[in-house]
Amino acid sequence: MASVEERVARLQEDIRLRHLQQLEKIPVSTEKRVSNNSPWRLPSYYQYMEKWSLKAKDHIHAAIDARATSDKDLSWDVGLYAFMESAAVYLRDWPTLFLASQAARQGQSKEALELLSNSDAEIRKIASMWHPDLHYVTICDLVEEHPDSDPTLDGPFCGAFFSSNPKTPFVGIVFKGTHVESWEEMLVDLRYIPVESTGKHLWSTHVSQGVFATLFGPFPKLGGQTPFDYIQRVVSTITASNGNVSTDVHLTGHSLGASYATLCYAELLRLQLNPPTSPRPSNLRIRDLYTYGSPRVALGDFVDALSDALDPEFEYPTSKSSTSSTSSFRILTTADPVPLVPPALLTDPKFIHLDSAYRVSTNAEPEPVDSERGTHPRPPLVPVFDMSSHTPFAYFDALYWTAGSRKGKVGMRVNDEKREKQLKVGRV
């Protein structure tokens, strides 16, 4: 019988081979992709991740022991850990990925596979720092690949952190935020005019055009599959490798990654609450959503539909599953301007956020944010140019302070009464 290490290595190689098949068909331009490897023009970003990992190790271990899930209330250990997942995927190595793509297109499969492994090696190193049973694999990286519907948009980058410990089985699906030098990724943010979800996705509600098109639109280089379908299949492969052990799945992302995570989470939850149209592992359980610095991504009908799906008292038609242990948590720093948009103009539609949101800082307890349901948020009064409160650096400082602020206690939770008040506001 193969050891755990051997099974994990085979699983990672199998998923990497699928990724390689994508790269064989996708040209990656040198000019845009190798000029700046790290986000926010910081070559030392890995060193920050390393320092944060050591500093927050007690919180991270507590989160992993809890299978990276919260109960009814947000566990700040898990909130900090899920953020670390979101921050780690920015370590993806653009120049090495370019070389892997180049080798793949030249038929040098062995070299391309090695380069592809090297392109996310730093992410895997960080995962192993968190726990020896924790692993990472890149699921899809649709660089310079576009959906059929819009050749100006790039597809998502998505990876998975997963535990091989049968006592703490979980998978974290993580979406990367916007790369500062990718105009196509920025266009996904800017193409926010709401569209009605097609193909029965997302309860046929209205969501941001750019994010919906690049997550649920077919991609030629995926053989006509959508990124969502591809991600779902790979995650099913990961959870199936655990045999009959029940595996909790959470989703997370920062910035644009938060937008992707929100829509992907909603669709996975919708499918879990309906009889499956295709077989999926019976041990897979969709649990929580954790987003950081998320822009608004949908109109009120989506927020209402997802809120109903998350309400354990709501009688969902044809459902054979329960959402009693499923929660959505949105976290923002005090001065982050990104959650204020859209709208960007007074004439924009009524974009609103999901409920269960908390504002964090480095000098005060987390503050529940009032529900936006039934309101029409207005655009910022003045243009915002200071993005320092939106960076992972600001989020780590605030989340680390919050997780340990009460007498150095690991596992601080949001006050039940405050959260219940917030939820009631959303149901008025």
Instruction: Catalogue all structural domains in the chain, each as residue range(s) with its CATH number.
Output: 4-426 (3.40.50.1820)
pLDDT at 4: 74
Output the pLDDT for position 246.
87
pTM of the model: 0.89
Provide the token pair at 256. 């644009």
Is residue 38 within 8 Å of residue 45, measured between CB atoms? yes
- DSSP code string of 207-256: EEHHHHHHHHS--GGGTT--HHHHHHHHHHHHHHTTTTS-EEEEEEEETH
pLDDT at 13: 86
**Residue 345: pLDDT above 80?**
no
- pLDDT-derived band at 346 (thresholds 50, 70, 90) equals confident
> What pLDDT band is residue 329 in, cutting at 50, 70 and 90?
very high
pLDDT, tens digit, 9 for 90 and up, residues 387-401: 889 999 999 999 999
Burial of 279 (0-12, 13-18, 19+ CB in 10 A): exposed
Sign of CA dihedral 4, 10, 14, 19: positive
pLDDT at 424: 43
The whole-angstrom separation of Cα 194 and Cα 175 is 21
> How far from 356 is each of 50, 58, 260, CA to CA, in Å?
30, 25, 18
3-state secondary structure 33-101: HCCCCCHHHCCCHHHHHHHHHHHCHHHHHHHHHCCCCCCCCCEHHHHHHHHHHHHHHHHCCHHHHHHHH
Half-sphere exposure of 343 (CA within 13 A, CB side): 14
Q: Is the pLDDT of residue 428 over 90?
A: no
Task: Calculate mean pLDDT across residues 17-24.
Answer: 78
109-123, 210-224, 243-257: segment of lowest average pLDDT: 210-224
Residues 6+ apart with CB under 8 A from 154: 142, 143, 144, 145, 146, 182, 184, 185, 187, 188, 214
What span, in angstroms and rounded, lies between the C-alpha atoms of 200 and 305?
13
| Average pLDDT score over residue span 38-56 | 81
Average pLDDT over residues 194-223: 90
* Top mean-pLDDT range of 30-39, 205-214, 267-276, 280-289: 205-214
| Residue 411: pLDDT band with limits 50, 70, 90 | very low
List, for residues 295-325, the tens digit of each pLDDT value. 999 999 999 999 999 987 766 554 555 555 6
Confidence category of residue 40, pLDDT binned at 50, 70, 90 = very low
pLDDT band at residue 65 using 50, 70 and 90 as cut-offs: very high
Query: By C-alpha distance, which of 337, 302, 317, 251 is closest to 78?
Result: 251
Q: Is the pLDDT higher at 418 or at 67?
A: 67
**Across the strands, what pairs with 165?**
none
State the average pLDDT over residues 15-19: 85
The answer for residues whose C-beta is within 8 angstroms of residue 349's C-beta and 6 or more apart is 193, 194, 206, 299, 343
- Residue 53 near residue 126, CB atoms below 8 Å: yes
Condensed to tens digits (0 to 9), the pLDDT of residues 159-207 reads 999 999 989 999 999 999 876 555 445 545 666 789 999 988 999 999 9
Q: Are 355 and 370 in contact (CB under 8 A)?
A: no
User: What residue type is assigned to position 106 of the chain?
Assistant: Q
Reading the block at residue 81, the tokens are 């850990």
Return all residues near 387 (Cβ < 8 A) that are at least 6 apart. Answer: 337, 338
Q: How far is CA 72 from CA 59, 82, 322, 414, 417, in A?
A: 19, 17, 14, 10, 12
CB 422 within 8 Å of CB 368 = yes
What is the average per-residue pLDDT within 210-228? 87
Which strands form 247-254's sheet, in the order they lie side by side? Answer: 134-141, 157-163, 170-175, 247-254, 284-292, 327-333, 357-360, 367-369
> pLDDT tens for residues 115-168?
989 999 999 999 999 999 999 999 988 756 666 666 667 789 999 999 999 899
Residues 364-377, mean pLDDT to the nearest whole number: 93
CB 270 within 8 A of CB 309: yes
User: Mean pLDDT across the chain, nearest whole number?
Assistant: 83
CA distance 233 to 214: 17
What contacts 5, CB < 8 A, 6 or more positions away? Answer: none
pLDDT (0 to 100) of residue 192: 79
Measured N-to-C along each axis, helices 109-119 and 121-130 cross at an angle, to the nearest 10 degrees, of 50
Residue 422 backbone class (left: φ over 0; alpha: ψ -120 to 50; beta: rest): alpha
Residue 180 · residue 156 · CB < 8 Å? no
Q: Which residues pair with 128 in a beta bridge?
A: none
User: Is the separation of the CB atoms in 218 and 267 below 8 Å?
Assistant: no
Write down the residue that tokens 């822009």 correspond to: 295
Query: What pLDDT does 41 receive?
Result: 47
Mean pLDDT to the nearest integer, 18-39: 60
CA 39, 41, 47, 48 torsion-angle sign:
negative
Angle at CA 147, nearest 5°, toward 141 and 153?
Answer: 75
